[in-house]
Amino acid sequence: MGVDRLLRKAYNKWFRPDPLRDLTSRGLVVGRNLKILPGATIDWSHCWFVKIGDDVTLAPGVRLIAHDASMKMHLGYARIGKIEIGDRVFIGAGSIVLPGVSIGSDTVIGAGSVVSRSIPGGMVACGNPARVMGTTSGWLDRKRAEMINVPCFGEEYTMRGGITEAMRAEMNARMADGVGYVE
């Protein structure tokens, strides 16, 4: 690796501004315990329209987009809209939340969803466009019942828990039917 590349890598690691701090300094409102996983983005150019509650997870590749410039060339204006996300919300990988949408507390948005309309609290929604599929409590009850019949693994079976090659092989063998749960 060349010296220039090493210096650039060190600069990005140590001196690059924290993106979340940059967004909040420009008006993004964020509650406690926000988890932003790799590749998730919040509309940089209109972040002051976004409000996120407590205990929210944005899975990998989630996009919160508070503006729509598709008609700017024709109308001379871009459409803008607030995005409000309640408490204890999980937004699945690759989902897109569009301008003018609110997502109520205790809601789960399935992976790959396009949320173009508001979703009430306590619901599970998925699809393109995202539609309510049921209540969060009903969905959790079904998953708890499923856990009785499939393997469940502790935190030691994760990267943060120090999983070994043998443990990965064990998980694959025990998950013969394809699914399991991990802490």
Catalytic residues: 67
Sign of the C-alpha dihedral, residues 93, 97, 101, 102?
A: positive
- Using only the alpha carbons of the chain, give its radius of gyration: 20
Question: Are the beta carbons of 175 and 153 closer than 8 angstroms?
Answer: no
Determine phi and psi for 107, rounding to 5 degrees.
-115, 145
Do 60 and 93 contact (CB within 8 A), yes or no? yes
CB proximity list for 38: less than 8 A, separation 6 or greater: 60
- CA dist., res. 151 & res. 148, Å (int): 8
* Helix ranges (DSSP H) in the chain: 3-14, 19-25, 72-75, 136-147, 165-174
Name the one residue in this structure whose structure tokens are 């967004």.
Answer: 23
